[in-house]
């Protein structure tokens, strides 16, 4: 014999009510998801766009970055690990800190550098393999406290984690060559080796920029580091430098050049 519940069909009104209740619940959950997640996605989109321009060395003023203030504040307050959001926020903070190195904004340097360091550390805690942000952290520590033996480990981490990233090498080489005489021997060797890799991998534009810029006082050391680079690559690099008027190896000593 059937039990009272086994043989009874559900009334149509109950089925209809259940479907409506389920749809309402889904709608409420969708709205809640939108309220929670859409601001995060919007923050990521705005910060990602700024980050892309900054890494391409496009000038962005404080006025350009002011609309990102709320997104930066939310990223800083976010307790969960959101790797791309944290990285984007750190890079935008970097440009804001760089913008403060003018007389009219000198009073904001300390605050912006503090915010930058906090953003970089937050990002590295989330994604510790970012060679570029280790370089940024080294720069921050150097700017805030001056060179110290302990902070050189931050630069070593950048070299260790990103040995073959050309765009990082360009930025890292520029910073390292500016302070080349103060570097420990192992880091000085890293600078020379990385410069040689740029030439070997035919990143001539980056190598020329470094040699003609902060590397010029150290050209003999950098040139000596090209000894293991294929002669073809070395010849192309030296010719390009010569065409620009830079006598890297002394071959132009009998020619007039800028």
Indicate the pTM of the whole model: 0.80
* pLDDT at 46 (0 to 100): 84
On whether the CB atoms of residues 141 and 105 are closer than 8 A, the answer is no
* pLDDT at 154 (0 to 100): 97
* pLDDT at 25 (0 to 100): 53
- Among residues 161, 149, 167, 159, which one has the least CA distance to residue 192? 159
* pLDDT at 79 (0 to 100): 85
Stretches where the chain sits below pLDDT 50 are 1-5, 27, 30-38, 253-258
* pLDDT at 42 (0 to 100): 59
* pLDDT at 78 (0 to 100): 87
Dist CA 57 CA 211 (whole Å): 19
Q: How far is CA 217 from the centre of its chain?
A: 28
* pLDDT at 5 (0 to 100): 45
Phi, psi (deg, nearest 5) at residue 2: -75, 145
């Amino acid at each position: 014999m059937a039990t009272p519940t086994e043989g009874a069909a559900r009334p149509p009104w109950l089925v209809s009510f259940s479907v409506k209740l389920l749809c309402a619940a889904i709608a409420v959950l969708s709205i809640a998801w939108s309220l929670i997640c859409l601001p995060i996605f919007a923050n990521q989109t705005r910060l990602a766009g700024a980050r892309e321009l900054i890494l391409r060395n496009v000038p962005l003023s404080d006025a350009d970055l002011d609309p990102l203030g709320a997104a930066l504040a939310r990223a800083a307050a976010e307790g969960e690990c959101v790797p791309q959001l944290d990285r984007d926020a750190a890079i935008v903070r970097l440009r804001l800190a760089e913008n403060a190195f003018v007389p009219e904004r000198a009073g904001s340097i300390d605050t912006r550098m503090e915010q930058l360091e906090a953003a970089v550390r937050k990002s590295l805690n989330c994604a510790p393999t970012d060679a570029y942000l280790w370089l940024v952290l080294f720069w921050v520590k150097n700017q805030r406290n001056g060179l110290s033996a302990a902070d050189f480990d931050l630069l070593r981490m950048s070299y260790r984690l990103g040995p073959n990233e050309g765009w990082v090498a360009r930025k890292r080489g520029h910073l390292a060559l500016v302070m080349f005489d103060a570097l420990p021997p192992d880091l000085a060797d890293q600078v020379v080796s990385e410069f040689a890799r740029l030439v070997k991998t035919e990143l001539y534009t980056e190598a020329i920029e470094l040699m003609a810029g902060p590397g010029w006082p150290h050209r003999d050391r950098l040139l000596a580091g090209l000894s293991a680079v294929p002669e073809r690559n070395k010849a192309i690099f030296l010719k390009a430098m010569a065409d620009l008027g830079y006598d890297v190896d002394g071959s132009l000593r009998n020619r007039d050049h800028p």
